[in-house]
Every structure is written in structure tokens, then in C-alpha cells.
Amino acid sequence: MSYVDRWRPLVQDGLLAVVMAVLVTAIVAATPGANALDVAGALAGSLALVAWRRAPLAALLVATVCMLGVGVHARPGPVVAYPVMVAVFTAVRAGHRLVGVLASAVFLGADLAVNLPRLDGSVRDLQSSTLLAGWFVAAGVAATVTRHRQAYLEEAEQRAAEAERTREQAALRRAGEERLRIARELHDSLTHSISVIKVQAGVAVHLARSRGEDVPSALLAIQEAGGDAMRELRATLEVLRDPGEAPASGLDRLGDLVERARSTGLPVTVTVSGARRELPADVDRAAYRIVQEALTNTSRHAGAATAEVRIDHANGALVVQVDDDGKADPDMAPVPGTGLLGMRERVAALGGRLRAEPRPEGGFTVRAELPLAEPS
């Protein structure tokens, strides 16, 4: 709550009390027979309304006592009832219905007792007393309606909040069920296939070595990639089954990633600059995936090319750049595939920037700037 919002109710209550005090005091002061004590009582009873919102019972007590004294002595007319009616309204609205009824009865009874000898059958005087009683009844009814309306609004807000929580819980439950379904599908469809690839590659390596033959580097790369794929698939399944924090690949495995790329025939150089520091887990994971995807795309699409990986620990950001000198045409915009879209989503989620495009001198470049602070 701001400073203005905190003080606005007090200012409003003060204005109400001041306006009421000016009106009532002016009429009381102009009443024949009123003295300074009557004016002071009218002023005190009116200014008591400054507390009508925060201390309704105290405001009601002060207003009733002061205005009773002024009404009995000075008899200025119905104006002395105004502060009392406001105080009765707020007391009933706050839930003190019995107190409000009692204060109204005391004030009206005293007013009737004082003015009864003067009524002498005058229809006008009877109407005035009846009208004053009607005002108090109207104040009580209005306060009761206001209280019920406020209770209804609060109940509606609670129901809306409960409905929102129920929707969130249902959405989380559906998301959990969907994660489990995806985990089962991945396990049933991929785990077996990757296991077969890994086993078959291991058998081929074993047979080649048992025969004294040189094991092709591509076969070794398949065997190692199969093991890494199985490890990453298990980690992914763990995340799907339990959305808590799970270990994942980061730049600490950059050496293994580069060696696998080299074993497939792609020459790769790595340059790391800047002061190394502890990286946030999501930034570390995103940087690894960006390098992994960029090297994979280079192996698939660049032809006979070399790649250069640069990791720069800059101030407030981690810059990851992968360049190759392949056959990408600088005059043709790249067609965004699943890999590039995944990179953009990762970088955008971290509040960073990604540039993936052909280089003017030929080849392709991927540059990601990942902020190390929380995005604003």
C-alpha cells in the first residue's frame, strides 16, 4: 500500500468531521439561548466522526453524549441528530447493531421527552419528530444493507480465489499427467532403440579389437554418443516424472562434447576468455545446449568445414559463439528448424539475445548473450 493510499481514508474522515462540525456548530451558535458550552459540545460531537471508521463505538458514544447535551439545553432542532445518525450508521455497518439501536432509542427518547411539552397537538411538530425517527431507521437499514453487500462481495472474492486455486490445481494435475504420459512414451519408444544402438556399437568395437583391426573413429563416436544419449534420456525422464531440480549437462562437459564432434571428423577449436565464475544452472545448461546444437548443425549442413567455439565470461553476461566456415550462403536466410527454434526459446526464457545467421565471408555463426542477473 502506497503512502497516499494509507492516508486517504484518514483525510476523508477528517473532511467529513470538519464539514459536519462547521454545519452543526454554525446552527447551534445561531440558536437563541445557546452558550459557549453548547457550541463546544456541538464541535466535539461532530469532530468525533474523524474516528467513525477506525473506532465506530467510540465515535458513537462521544457523538451521542455531546449531541444529547446540546439538544436538551439549546434545542437547535434536527441538526443535532446528524452526527449521531452518521455514527449509528457506521456502528451498525461494523456489526454493532444492538449498540446502534440502543443509541438511537436513547437519543430519540430524550428528544421526544424534551420536545413533548411543546408539541401541543401541532401536526407540524409531530411530523418533525416522526421524520427524525424515520431518518434513524433509514440510517440503520442502509447500514445493514451495506454490511450485507460487503459480506457478499467478500464471499464472492473468496469464491473467485478458491475457483482460481482449483483451476490452478487442475492445470497442475493435467500437466503432471501429461508429463508422465510423455515419459512413458519416451521410455517405450526411445530407450530400447538407443540401447540397441549402444549395444551394437559396443559389439562392433569389441569384434574389431578382437581381430586386431583399427576401430573406426566414427564407430567409437557412435558408441560414446549412444551412452551420452542414454544418460541424457534418463535425466529427461527423471525431470518429467519429478519436475524438481535435476542434474543436467553444463559447460563442465564441454570437453567431452567437443571430442565427440572431432571424432566425427569436424575440426573444432575452443577459446574461453574472461574471469570464470559460478554460473546459474539454467544459464550453464542453456550454454551447453547451444554449443551442442550449433556443432550438430555444422556436422549436418556445413560440409567439409571447421568450427570455432568461443565462450566469453563478460561483465554481467555469458557470451557463447560458434562459427564455422562451411557452405552457408550469406544471401540466403536460414530456414529455422527445430534446433534453432529451441535455441531461441532457451535464450528468450533467460532474457538474452540470439543471433543465428550466415556470415558475410561464408559459413554460419551462432551467438548467444545470456545475462547472469535476473531479467527485469
Instruction: CATH number of the domain at 349, please.
Output: 3.30.565.10
Domain termination site, one of 92, 119, 146: 119
Q: Residue holding cell 447535551?
A: 69
Domain assignment present for residue 351? The answer is yes
Domain assignment present for residue 107? The answer is yes
Using the CB atoms, write b or e for 238-263: b if 16+ within 10 Å: ebbbeeeeeebbbbeebeebbebbbb
Separation of alpha carbons 307 and 363, rounded Å? 9
Q: What is the pLDDT along the chain (376 residues), one digit of tens a residue?
A: 555 566 777 888 888 888 888 988 888 888 888 888 988 988 998 898 888 888 889 989 999 899 888 888 888 878 888 899 999 998 998 888 898 889 888 888 887 777 665 545 455 556 667 778 888 888 888 888 888 888 888 888 888 888 888 888 888 788 777 877 787 777 766 776 777 777 778 888 788 888 887 878 777 777 777 777 777 777 777 767 666 545 557 888 888 888 888 877 788 999 999 888 888 888 998 899 899 888 888 887 767 788 999 999 988 899 999 998 887 777 776 666 777 888 888 898 889 999 988 888 888 899 999 998 654 4
Say if CB 80 and CB 44 are below 8 A apart: no
Tell me which residue of 114, 117, 243 sits closest to 180, measured CA to CA.
Answer: 243
Joined together, the cell numbers standing for residue 1 give 500500500
Domain assignment present for residue 113? The answer is yes
Domain assignment present for residue 213? The answer is no
Say if CB 337 and CB 300 are below 8 A apart: no
Residue 352, phi then psi, degrees to nearest 5 = -100, -165
Domain termination site, one of 62, 94, 119: 119
- Tell me the β-bridge partners of 314: 317
Domain termination site, one of 93, 119, 145: 119
Structure confidence at residue 375 (pLDDT): 44
- Number of structural domains found in the chain: 2
Q: What is the pTM of this model?
A: 0.46
Domain assignment present for residue 322? The answer is yes
Domain assignment present for residue 284? The answer is yes
How many C-alpha atoms does 275 have within 13 Å on its Cβ side?
3
Domain interval for residue 72: 3-119
Say if CB 373 and CB 315 are below 8 A apart: no
Domain assignment present for residue 291? The answer is yes
Domain assignment present for residue 173? The answer is no
How many C-beta neighbours within 10 Å does residue 111 have? 23
